[in-house]
Amino acid sequence: MSRFEFGLLGPLEVRGCGTIPPIPRGKERVLLAALLLSANRVVSADALAEILWPHGPPPSAARLCRTT
């Protein structure tokens, strides 16, 4: 079983299997940070859409939250 560690203080990092994989910039990074900060809690698609699109989500936000 692979074990990963996540660093949230300072730059967002993922460590595991002896490597530090790159974390894409943009919405994927924001989504990962939001989910890590809400570990072991359900995060609604509406809450994620608000985080990902603070100036108003696009009409396809619910679908994009499921596929991002």
Pure H helices in 1-68: 27-37, 45-52, 61-67
In tens digits, the chain (68 residues) has pLDDT values of 568 888 888 888 888 877 778 888 888 888 889 999 998 999 988 888 889 898 988 888 877 777 65
Q: Which residue has the tokens 């108003």?
A: 56
Residue 54 CA to residue 27 CA, distance in Å, equals 12
**Domains of the chain by start residue, with CATH:** 24-68 (1.10.10.10)
- For the chain, the 3-state helix, strand and coil shares in percent, each to the nearest 5, are 40, 15, 50
In angstroms, the CA 8 to CA 59 distance is 30
User: What's the confidence (pLDDT) of residue 1?
Assistant: 52
pLDDT score recorded for residue 10: 83
